[in-house]
Amino acid sequence: MAGNQNAMAQQQKKVGAQFGGLAIGSGRPVVIAGPCSVESEAQILAAAHAVKAAGAAALRGGAFKPRTSPKSFQGLGEEGLKLLALAREQTGLPVVTEVMDTGEIDLVARYADVLQIGSRNMQNFALLKQVGWAGKPVILKRGLAATIAEWVSAAEYITMTGNTQVILCERGIRTFETHTRNTLDLSAAVAARELTGLPVMVDPSHAAGRRDLIPALSRAALAAGVDGLMIEVHPNPEQALSDKEQQLTFAAFGSLMAELGLLPAGALASLDACRQVIDQIDDELLALLARRMETVQRVGELKRVTGMPVLQPAREQALLDRLTSGAARELEGHDVRTIWQAILACSRRHQQTAG
């Protein structure tokens, strides 16, 4: 096997620059981003424009979805592929989408720039062989419980067809841990890259299964020297038809790209560009405030039932103290107090007039 892997590494060096228009292996990390599933025209177009503005190199989105339960959303199928093609037309971003079945390879390859083999199909050998023949770059995700050697052998099924444009993607493996959806195995990402010479990406979204861990895992993956990241991003994660716990909002994705130093040159150079980002953040603030009000209303009902007055000075004081002490560097404690005093006044009014 070592001989084969060396041959694969040699061969790879010659074709490094291709990968469906992704400058992968060029030294600058490549980020592929987009929703878990393509759900509607409005959803995929909004996601495509937002991830492009934040510096993503390609758009992802599942049209054929490998769902654990047959009762879960299975994807829009060909309609989803057409929407991805429309998003590419509007943004110029190459499109990455999963193919699950040998019978669908031709169809998916007509629309996609890069074909994805999902974790659950990593050892579907008929699919691996035939996807190689489609002549498109392939992202091969690591199986949920595959060893590094099994993953590398699966890649060889594809490269054996003469298609050496394979990108490996570590997306977390099954372990005894239940706090996270899977366990991100960075050592496998690094080892597979060394063994094969193929570019390796990391998908922190499916690894963690929860959006709060994605920035730290992304930083860790890039520090380990991988070639790129695949990140799930949705216009409204709460409403997503699949993987809603792990998808980032546009604003969170923008912040992450800024933190990773991957915002495109000029992303915040013009007044218009900055205002677009501010509009995105304000939309999210508004949605969060609406959710806060829903909860406030419920608190109002509980206060009424238990005969508590609406105004609870000690609770308000504790809330303000907590927020002002935890205020981020960019915010003065005094400003945080002013903003939340206004929010609390609205909340009280809401409780007084409700019911």
Positions in the binding site for ligand PEP (CB under 6 A): 36, 62, 66, 98, 118-120, 141, 171, 206
Nearest in space to 296 (alpha carbons), one of 352, 350, 336, 345:
350
Among 87, 243, 250, 254, indicate the residue that binds Mn ion (CB under 5 A): 243
Question: Which of Mn ion, ligand PEP, none interacts with 119 (beta carbon under 5 to 8 A by kind)?
Answer: ligand PEP
With respect to ligand PEP, which residue has the nearer C-beta, 168 or 222? 168
What gap in Å lies between CA 144 and CA 146, rounded to an integer?
6
With respect to ligand PEP, which residue has the nearer C-beta, 170 or 351? 170
With respect to ligand PEP, which residue has the nearer C-beta, 148 or 267? 148
What gap in Å lies between CA 239 and CA 75, rounded to an integer?
15
With respect to ligand PEP, which residue has the nearer C-beta, 31 or 267? 31
With respect to ligand PEP, which residue has the nearer C-beta, 116 or 165? 116
- Cα separations (Å) of 353 from 182, 299, 300, 347? 46, 13, 10, 10
Question: Which of Mn ion, ligand PEP, none interacts with 66 (beta carbon under 5 to 8 A by kind)?
Answer: ligand PEP
Stretch that binds Mn ion, among 3-11, 29-37, 51-59, 344-352 (CB under 5 A): 29-37
Query: To the nearest whole angstrom, how small is the minimum distance from the Cβ of residue 65 to ligand PEP?
Result: 7
Query: To the nearest whole angstrom, how small is the minimum distance from the Cβ of residue 13 to ligand PEP?
Result: 27
Q: Which residues pair with 113 in a beta bridge?
A: none
Stretch that binds Mn ion, among 35-43, 112-120, 147-155, 310-318 (CB under 5 A): 35-43
Query: To the nearest whole angstrom, how small is the minimum distance from the Cβ of residue 171 to ligand PEP?
Result: 4
Asked if 171 contacts 142 with a C-beta cutoff of 8 angstroms, the reply is yes
With respect to Mn ion, which residue has the nearer C-beta, 221 or 263? 221
Nearest in space to 47 (alpha carbons), one of 215, 247, 243:
247
Nearest residue to ligand PEP, scored by beta-carbon proximity: 118
With respect to Mn ion, which residue has the nearer C-beta, 36 or 105? 36
Question: Which of ligand PEP, Mn ion, none interacts with 52 (beta carbon under 5 to 8 A by kind)?
Answer: none
Among 22, 31, 32, 36, indicate the residue that binds Mn ion (CB under 5 A): 36
- Cα separations (Å) of 82 from 90, 135, 169, 294? 13, 20, 25, 37
Nearest in space to 277 (alpha carbons), one of 249, 257, 250:
250
Q: What are phi and psi of 182, to 5 degrees?
A: -140, -175
Question: Which of ligand PEP, Mn ion, none interacts with 171 (beta carbon under 5 to 8 A by kind)?
Answer: ligand PEP
**Which residue is associated with the tokens 């093609």?**
85
Nearest in space to 207 (alpha carbons), one of 197, 215, 195:
215
Query: To the nearest whole angstrom, how small is the minimum distance from the Cβ of residue 54 to ligand PEP?
Result: 19
What gap in Å lies between CA 336 and CA 326, rounded to an integer?
10
Half-sphere exposure of 178 (CA within 13 A, CB side): 0
Nearest in space to 262 (alpha carbons), one of 210, 299, 227:
227
Query: To the nearest whole angstrom, how small is the minimum distance from the Cβ of residue 254 to ligand PEP?
Result: 21
Where on the chain is the footprint of Mn ion (CB under 5 A)? Answer: 36, 243
